[in-house]
Amino acid sequence: MSTTTYTTINDTGYFANVATAVRQLFAALFAVQPGMSQRNKEETIWWLNSMANDCELHSPGLSAELRHFASRA
């Protein structure tokens, strides 16, 4: 989840808006994302595969999507 901080500036000219947009872009691009621990990742993969096995008979499409998400985790 990300949050956006809106700041109000009295100078609302075109270049001020562009500068604010560029600052927000750089802040979003270079924000540090918290890493996921290996154990948490393995538990997530196991949980998704377990859910996929549970719904295999009544919803094979959902099962395939869950396995796809598990492969990307």
pLDDT in tens, the chain (73 residues): 566 666 665 657 888 888 889 999 888 888 877 777 888 889 999 999 999 999 999 999 999 999 999 998 7
Residues 4 and 55: their CA atoms lie apart, in Å, by 37
Q: Which pLDDT score, from 0 to 100, does residue 57 have?
A: 92
Give the residue extent of every domain in the chain: 38-72
Task: Give the global pTM.
Answer: 0.50
Residues 49 and 29: their CA atoms lie apart, in Å, by 32
Residues 45 and 70: their CA atoms lie apart, in Å, by 5
48: number of Cβ within 10 Å: 19
Cα within 13 Å of Cα(46), Cβ side: 6
Residues 17 and 27: their CA atoms lie apart, in Å, by 15
